[in-house]
Chain A
């Protein structure tokens, strides 16, 4: 990612766009922050926020006509926030005062004519910048016009107190001046570098103002906030003219503008504006707190609200893009965003709910690819999943055949790795059914390369797809029938020339075996996240459920807004804690049992304690599993055994061949208490790793012995991991008491 790409990513996330009120205010007062203080009764903090932006807040805050209110999002849920009244309450309740120190004197003199709000704002802004300001007022009392226009809200004392601040910063007030004559104007032009005429208070037909570049004017708007804004804009132009710098640079958002901030009103309860007990005196402290409490504190976070992963890292995509960019740019030092990059499930829900289509999954995936290319991918992040993939690509599982007794295939069933790992019996039954209905259906066992793709290893995923394609071509390019939606997406995106169909659609067409759904209650359909862009697969799954006599219930986040189960994108491998939180949250969406059509989703939901069935549980009920929704998730070791057994069973069954024998150490019998097995599953230590460790310790004698318990402890390092096993002899094998592993290589003393 380079700087330009970073900006494009940042630009897309609108969380930091200003809310409607701020964008509508000609001065851009931070109303959201103001309300956040007022709701807590922190009047002085509110005053600081107001006076940071608003000139003469002691005056303007009391009389502001609040055009912001017309764009307040609360309007659609009970009525706009009464921001003008809240400003008034804040000014009334705060101690007031300004912590402003003017810049050093510039030795440039500026004349300001009139003492309306635009004139006072020019004096306010330019005095702070160090200009010598003289304000000429034709009347006897500066600000008298304001007091006269707002007798209920302003008093002479209030105005005098504010003007005292101007005097403190060096503004001179000249009252009773004959400013309406051309002679006065000509004389002023010779003594001052620049003149401002506040049209809300003074004007004269005698003045000849023909394009004199030293004279500026404004304030002709009836709205006081616009008068102040015009004064501010004029002051900026006068300052820039005198400083001889660009008059236009950085002023695109001066005045009201359209904001891109999106704020969802879903779930917002309508609340009417707080009534004022004393309309003349304005909101009391309690009333102001209650009214400010209605503020929606507008923000987007549309993606963060639906994604525990985005939530967990404490920010939002705009910030994440910056963190990821910094992570990539580091030459020496710690890459603190590695976990952020590797924990995303790549499910794409953020892009679906984002008004600007921010795709966190694309950002994370392309960064993973770049990390792999630079050799900066932490080896442990995806290793376990990649080893499981390697198993699927080994002789223990790989298979590509025409149907038994045939030399051609019209179709090719590719069940994918994890369905075979979870439900091998149903895979075999489905293959039989497909052959019975379609005839020449070949079979291919293996992996689609998704784990490599998700981990950013493009070379490996392409190699797997190339090998797959080679075998598919050798089988005569049959139509591919896919049971796994991840495989479906992989082939759809990476091998678009291959004709593919979801096997759920195939079954909708060719028909189901004679079975009936055993679930009387509705099943809540959990769509796998990889079907997000495949509504036809989602529809087919529901169609099959209904055909079986079942009833579908919809989850709040379903179909194109479905959530990942926690396995996608190798989230589970890189960050098991977040993956577990994701699964648990998903499980809580409905009290119905879930129906899904992805083996990984089914098993993860089951592991989180959610009753869940796979479509195949309904189509091919297994006699040994009377309650498929309560079937525990098979552990990683069993998932490998199931794949190997499926292949061996198919070779023996339909094809009538003998399967290769198991290696010596596979025959070693192990006993393990359930809590030990559970611990080893969480530590991702396979039974196979334990067998190998014990086998080599027993063969070499390299082991430790505990004199009190008689147990042994031994280590084995078959790859970049050292496994430690604590075990003891047991009937026809060994009892395993514990195992753990580390990646560091430990030498001898």
Chain B
């Protein structure tokens, strides 16, 4: 489940964790919906693990997969 183009990541990776004051890194996180779970790459804080779900991902691929799982 990746955003359509790589520039999205670079935009999102500019965010920093406010609590840890550290830059975000790309890494595998777990995602779950309707008794299905899988892992995918997303920006997150290497310190506290706070994950950023980018807007393009939430409204694009994620919404699409949500609908597919709801229709299973």
Measured CB to CB, the residues of A under 8 A from B are 333-336, 338, 378-381, 701-708, 712-713, 715, 722, 724, 738, 740-749
Contact = CB atoms under 8 A, between A and B. Distances in A.
A713 B43 CA distance: 13
A19 to B, nearest CB: 37
A747 B37 CA distance: 10
A724 B42 CA distance: 15
Nearest to B46: A749
21 contacts: A334-B71, A334-B72, A336-B71, A379-B34, A380-B67, A381-B70, A701-B19, A702-B18, A704-B18, A704-B50, A705-B15, A707-B14, A713-B15, A713-B52, A722-B53, A742-B58, A744-B65, A746-B31, A747-B29, A747-B30, A749-B27
Given A334-B71, A748-B49, A706 B29 contact: no
B4 interface: no
A705 B16 contact: yes
A348 B54 CA distance: 42
B70 A378 contact: yes
A724 B58 contact: yes
B70 A748 contact: no
A707 B15 CA distance: 7
Given A334-B72, A380-B70, A706-B14, A745 B49 contact: no
A740 B55 contact: yes
Contacts of B24: 704
B18 A744 contact: no
A690 to B, nearest CB: 15
B49 to A, nearest CB: 4
A635 B6 CA distance: 36
A442 B33 CA distance: 46
Contact of A746 (B27, B29, B55): B29
B53 A715 contact: yes
A743 B52 CA distance: 14
A744 B33 contact: yes
Most buried by A among B32, B34, B59, B70: B70
Contact of B28 (A334, A381, A749): A749
A748 B29 CA distance: 6
Contacts of B16: 704-707
Contacts of A707: 14, 16
Nearest to B42: A746
Interface of B: 14-19, 24, 27-34, 42, 44, 48-53, 55, 58-59, 62-63, 65-68, 70-72
Given A338-B71, A701-B18, A707-B14, A745 B33 contact: yes
Nearest to A338: B71
The listed residue with most A CB atoms (<10 A of its CB), out of B24, B30, B55, is B55
A704 B32 contact: no
Among A334, A378, A744, A749, the one with the most B-chain Cβ atoms within 10 Å of its Cβ is A744
Contacts of A713: 15, 52
B55 to A, nearest CB: 5
Given A378-B70, A713-B52, A748-B51, A742 B32 contact: no
Given A378-B70, A379-B70, A740-B58, A748 B32 contact: no
A295 to B, nearest CB: 41
A742 B63 CA distance: 7
A722 B59 CA distance: 12
B33 A743 contact: yes
Q: Which residue, of B16, B18, B49, B59, has the highest number of chain A Cβ atoms within 10 A?
A: B18
A601 B39 CA distance: 44
A724 B32 contact: no
Nearest to B33: A744
Nearest to A336: B71
B40 to A, nearest CB: 9
Given A334-B68, A742-B66, A744-B66, A704 B29 contact: no
Contacts of B65: 744
B21 to A, nearest CB: 8
Given A334-B68, A335-B71, A378-B71, A746 B53 contact: yes
A63 to B, nearest CB: 57
Given A380-B67, A745-B31, A749-B29, 4 more contacts: A379-B34, A742-B59, A742-B62, A749-B27
Given A704-B18, A743-B33, A749 B51 contact: yes
A745 B53 contact: no
Point out which of A708, A738, A742 has the most chain B C-beta atoms below 10 A from its C-beta.
Answer: A742
A115 to B, nearest CB: 63
Nearest to A704: B15
B69 to A, nearest CB: 9
Contacts of A738: 55
A441 B70 CA distance: 46
Given A704-B52, A742-B63, A335 B72 contact: yes
A378 B66 CA distance: 10
Nearest to A337: B71
B32 A745 contact: yes
Q: Which of B58, B62, B65, B66 has the most CB of A within 10 A?
A: B58
A574 to B, nearest CB: 11
A702 B15 contact: no
Contacts of B33: 743-745
A708 B72 CA distance: 43
Nearest to B34: A379
A740 B12 CA distance: 15
A743 B29 CA distance: 16
A745 B32 CA distance: 5
A200 B52 CA distance: 87
Nearest to A380: B70
A665 to B, nearest CB: 19
Contacts of B19: 701-703
A747 B53 contact: no
A740 B56 CA distance: 10
A702 B50 CA distance: 8
Contacts of A378: 67, 70-71
Given A704-B16, A704-B24, A744 B70 contact: no
Given A335-B71, A738-B55, A748 B44 contact: yes
A154 to B, nearest CB: 61
Nearest to B55: A740
